[in-house]
Structure 1
């Protein structure tokens, strides 16, 4: 049986934020960016504790056992109110079965914030422990100014809500660290707009769950990604969100079929799809990949949300009760942390 949902207490000025790398670490120009981001948080009144697993010279910041132990320690430490990684990486899946799940189940929940490869860890934290987790900026993105309509992740973890966000209409990009390691304004590269597949309007409510397709798909069908069992324990439907990082449309199609077969969408009221720059196949677009896998489910699909690897970022709380409205000029999501 899925555990009851638990929301970490709101972050307060002076609280401690833990920084560790469950996947990739930082070095060179990237390390300079992370140092700036840590100073940025400290400048806003937070006490920042930097862990030992931060090395960016290899694929991961440290051996899996060490990364799992440090993440467990930070999440279980009552003095740490929030944990955020520098960014994602490639192989966070190697530590999900090394976390001390019994120790975490025995303590009060702590905010875990991030996206990309970190969703490999955030998903089971929510589905196995019942802890709400926040899909939004990683530490490297945290100093960027938030466009109109969206909220900073610090606002969501610090307030009581409900939190209302609206489509920003913007498509942006990061500044390369070697260009400006202290960047705080997104590079505007285009415009975007949420839209419902097939046109029309949408007004649905459900519990949020999701992540980066390339990473969470490999948890489907395992005890660490049993979204169907988690959803069965809820008192209503889910709203599943997904986003592709860089994999080919054919691979994304396969991953989504696997998630569908594992029951990820059985209780869904809608699917939210993030913008992507991932490549198409000559015979299959990224949208076509989603429709091939999920079109048969007769679920509403909302395209082009600001979630994932095409910034800016619309933070979503796994476990939050979300109302999604797309109707005429309204493109809005309201999250309630209860």
Structure 2
């Protein structure tokens, strides 16, 4: 039996957005930034509610059971139409088996938005529940203006699509909270272009799935990261996207081999790889790590998309039907939420 992912309804003015920290909380100079981001959403007509799991004095915002319960409650609440964390963290993996999937299965889908450690939660919400999830800015980055070619995550969450995004051509960076907690313009620090491995062109389509390599890589081979089983329910292929935050190339290589062995790429038409500042190993570069694990699959690879820890951010919807075209001066991805 094939299935189509379930898409949350588009956000509307006046809708309620829940803020909770499934991983790291908020403290110190970051507090002023998050307060500004909440106000930024409210000024755009959204009713923002902030949960109790926001404490930033430790590794996580609260015990795993409490974080899972608050996330489940927000996602199941019919009055909340979107949930977004302040940012990622380190150990969201500790709550993936504590989420009440049975309760959520009986609820209407809610947008869950974010990246980095939140990828660890986005993945099972899509693969186990069939809900589309949105790999885009966390709350702390939400006020940043979007460069030409890209869309804001709110554009995807509030629109009907199709959504076309093109290579922005820029590499940016954040303003430190101590410098400007109200920043809305990225620092431009360089240029970049999407590139097909080996040259040539590419035109592929499939359902999107992916996230941060060093967080979701630990889910490969578990019931919470069974991409192969999820892909087998689809009527068509997948397009996998991955990005690395900070692990050196050897660990990137290990994660990707684990994903390969768990069947993550069995139905993939292409692999999209985000730009990274993660370090190379003396004997292995980041690109070589990807090729070591995936190169043997004869799978097209597109490098340097804006999909992770090197901003700006190109939001992708897990479960969306995507067409990726890289041909001459055309570098674009079109997402259809159907």
Q: Is the shorter-chain TM-score for this pair beyond 0.5, marking a shared fold?
A: yes
Q: Is the 8 A contact 2:237 2:268 kept in 1?
A: yes
3-state SS of 2:326 partner: strand
Equivalent runs, 1:20-35 vs 2, <5 Å: 20-35=20-35
Q: Is the 8 A contact 1:132 1:318 kept in 2?
A: yes
Give the whole-Å Cα distance in 2 for the aligned partners of 1:225 and 1:282.
31
TM-score, scaled to structure 2: 0.99
3-state SS of 2:35 partner: helix
3-state SS of 1:168 partner: coil
Q: Is the 8 A contact 1:85 1:138 kept in 2?
A: yes
3-state SS of 1:82 partner: strand
Stretches of structure 2 that go unaligned for 5 or more consecutive residues are none
Q: Which residue of the partner structure matches residue 164 of structure 1?
A: 164
Q: Which residue of the partner structure matches residue 220 of structure 2?
A: 220
Q: Which residue of the partner structure matches residue 125 of structure 2?
A: 125
Equivalent runs, 1:165-204 vs 2, <5 Å: 165-204=165-204
Q: Which residue of the partner structure matches residue 64 of structure 2?
A: 64
Equivalent runs, 1:128-147 vs 2, <5 Å: 128-147=128-147
Give the whole-Å Cα distance in 1 for the aligned partners of 2:21 and 2:62.
8
Instruction: Give every structure 1 segment of 4 or more consecutive aligned residues whose post-TM-superposition deviation is greater than 3 Å.
Output: 1-4
CA drift at 1:4: 4.2
CA drift at 1:3: 6.0
Q: Is the 8 A contact 1:2 1:229 kept in 2?
A: no
Q: Which residue of the partner structure matches residue 255 of structure 2?
A: 255
Q: Is the 8 A contact 1:237 1:268 kept in 2?
A: yes
Q: Is the 8 A contact 2:231 2:237 kept in 1?
A: yes
Give the whole-Å Cα distance in 1 for the aligned partners of 2:99 and 2:92.
11
Give the whole-Å Cα distance in 1 for the aligned partners of 2:292 and 2:273.
14
Q: Which residue of the partner structure matches residue 75 of structure 1?
A: 75
Residues 24 and 3 (structure 1), Cα distance of their counterparts in 2 relative to 1, 3 Å cut: farther
3-state SS of 1:304 partner: strand
3-state SS of 1:28 partner: coil
CA drift at 1:210: 0.1
Q: Which residue of the partner structure matches residue 206 of structure 1?
A: 206
Give the whole-Å Cα distance in 2 for the aligned partners of 1:327 and 1:321.
20
Q: Is the 8 A contact 2:3 2:235 kept in 1?
A: no
Q: Which residue of the partner structure matches residue 282 of structure 2?
A: 282
Q: Is the 8 A contact 2:2 2:235 kept in 1?
A: no
Equivalent runs, 1:26-45 vs 2, <5 Å: 26-45=26-45
CA drift at 1:282: 1.1
TM-score, scaled to structure 1: 0.99
3-state SS of 1:204 partner: strand
Q: Which residue of the partner structure matches residue 112 of structure 1?
A: 112
CA drift at 1:2: 7.9
Q: Deviations over 1:250-305 (max 9, x none)?
A: 00000000000000000000000000000001110000000000000000000000
CA drift at 1:226: 0.2
Q: Which residue of the partner structure matches residue 155 of structure 1?
A: 155
Q: Which residue of the partner structure matches residue 233 of structure 1?
A: 233
CA drift at 1:177: 0.4
CA-atom RMSD, angstroms?
A: 0.8
